[in-house]
């Protein structure tokens, strides 16, 4: 799989699934987050993916770094209960410690465990 990763390296979602498969083959718990809907100026288009392993290692992205922390936190829950879920993120209040998108957009993220 290492060779495959090297030759197809294109920073698209293909890399994410190749790395996810590698982690899973190493026996790690893994979850995949996928952007399934966006409104306004969200930074990553529909179909963008983030892979997360049980140690919190990430590949890919679902935003410009704004919501990845929260997605990783939820990914751990999905790894435990194996229930897929849809997360919604809206505009952040910059004065509060709230997770959201500074750009003013909204995104929906589908989160699933890799069995």
Partner 1 sequence: MNKKILNEILIAIENKKPIALVSELKTGNQCIVYEDRVSGLLSITDDIAELARASLSDDSSRRNGEVFIQVFNPPKRLIIVGAVHIAQPLVEIGKTAGFSVTIVDPRGAFATGSRFPNVDLNEDWPDEALISLGVDNRTAVVTLTHDPKLDDPALEVALRSNAFYIGSLGSKNTHLKRKERLKDSGFDEHQISRIHGPIGLDIGSKSPAEIAISIMAEITKALHAK
Residues in contact with partner 1 by the rule CB under 8 A: 4, 6-14, 17-18, 20-21, 24, 32, 34, 36-37, 46-47, 83-84, 86, 108, 110, 112-115
Q: How far is the CB of 60 from partner 1 (least distance, A)?
A: 13
Count of other CB atoms within 10 angstroms of residue 75:
27
Question: Judged by CB, which is closer to partner 1: 12, or 56?
Answer: 12
Supply the minimum distance, in Å, between the C-beta of residue 51 and partner 1. Answer: 11
Question: In the bound complex, what is the minimum distance in angstroms from residue 11's beta carbon to partner 1?
Answer: 6
In sequence order, what are the residues at sequence separation of 6 or more whose Cβ sits closer than 8 angstroms to the Cβ of residue 26? none
For partner 1, which is the closer residue by CB, 47 or 69?
47
Toward partner 1, which CB reaches closer, 49 or 100?
49
Within 8 A by CB and 6+ apart from 65, the residues are: none
In angstroms, what is the minimal distance from the CB of 10 to partner 1? Answer: 4
User: 112: which strand partners?
Assistant: 32
Helix (H, G, I), strand (E, B) or coil at 56: coil
Q: How many whole angstroms separate alpha carbon 30 and alpha carbon 51?
A: 7
């Amino acid at each position: 799989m290492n060779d495959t990763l090297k030759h197809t390296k294109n920073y698209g979602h293909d890399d994410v699934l190749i790395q996810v498969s590698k982690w899973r083959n190493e026996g790690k718990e893994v979850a995949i987050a996928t952007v399934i809907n966006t409104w306004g100026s969200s930074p990553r288009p529909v179909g963008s993916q983030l892979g997360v392993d049980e140690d919190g290692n990430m590949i890919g992205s679902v935003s410009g770094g704004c919501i990845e922390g929260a997605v990783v936190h939820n990914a751990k829950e999905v790894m435990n209960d194996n229930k897929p879920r849809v997360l919604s993120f809206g505009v952040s209040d910059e004065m509060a410690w709230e997770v959201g998108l500074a750009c003013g957009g909204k995104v929906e993220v589908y989160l699933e465990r890799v069995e």
